[in-house]
């Protein structure tokens, strides 16, 4: 009898290994009411390298790690009544920098948490308002907020 056909279910009881869907996620930023976002970009990191060419070694260049590099996180959402993010950005433009932690969490169809990332000590560095166009009455007005931060870590 094949392993998957054994009495008791065999491999059939394993959880699905399907990839997670990218459209169902939630963002939490400590102390702020942020609502839902339609898009989050910038979830990445890389190790910045120092190259060293050793005299007499012609088949490769040595590469040594220098530091971690984290691009800015960019959040996009439909413009609405909530203005906590705008106030946070406005405070930053006036020199009142509040470093806040946050979480980006991917969820399943039942809204259970699947996987997530924490970002540390973030503050806003750019805000973009909606593109307004009277000729298209069906488009949603979006705002975009860009955050600098000190690292992304698995939640």
pLDDT of 3 reads 47
pLDDT of 15 reads 59
pLDDT of 152 reads 96
Give per-10-residue mean pLDDT for the chain (155 aa): 48 61 85 84 96 92 96 93 90 98 91 92 96 83 95 94
pLDDT of 109 reads 84
Which domains does the chain show, CATH number per domain?
20-154 (2.30.110.20)
3-state secondary structure the chain: CCHHHCCCCHHHHCCCCCCCCCCCEEEEECCECCCCCCEEECCCCEEEEEEECCCCCCCCCEEEEEEEECCCEEEEEECCCCCHHHHHHHHHHCCCCCCEEEEEEEECCCCCEEEEEEEEEEEEEEEECCCCCCCCCCCCCEEEEEEECCCEEEC
pLDDT of 13 reads 52
């Amino acid at each position: 009898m094949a392993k998957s056909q054994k009495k008791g279910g065999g491999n059939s009881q394993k959880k699905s290994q399907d990839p997670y869907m990218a459209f169902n996620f939630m963002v939490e930023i400590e102390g702020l009411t942020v609502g839902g976002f339609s898009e989050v970009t910038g979830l990445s990191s890389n190790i910045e390298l120092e190259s060293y060419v050793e005299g007499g070694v012609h088949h490769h260049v040595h590469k040594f790690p220098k530091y971690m590099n984290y691009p800015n996180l960019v959040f996009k959402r439909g413009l609405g009544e909530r203005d906590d993010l705008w106030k946070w950005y406005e405070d930053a433009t006036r020199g009142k920098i509040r470093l806040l932690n946050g979480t980006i969490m991917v969820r399943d169809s039942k809204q259970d948490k699947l996987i997530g990332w924490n970002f540390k000590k973030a503050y806003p560095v750019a805000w973009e308002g909606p593109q307004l166009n009277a000729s298209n009455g069906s488009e949603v007005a979006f705002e975009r907020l860009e955050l600098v931060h000190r690292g992304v870590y698995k939640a």
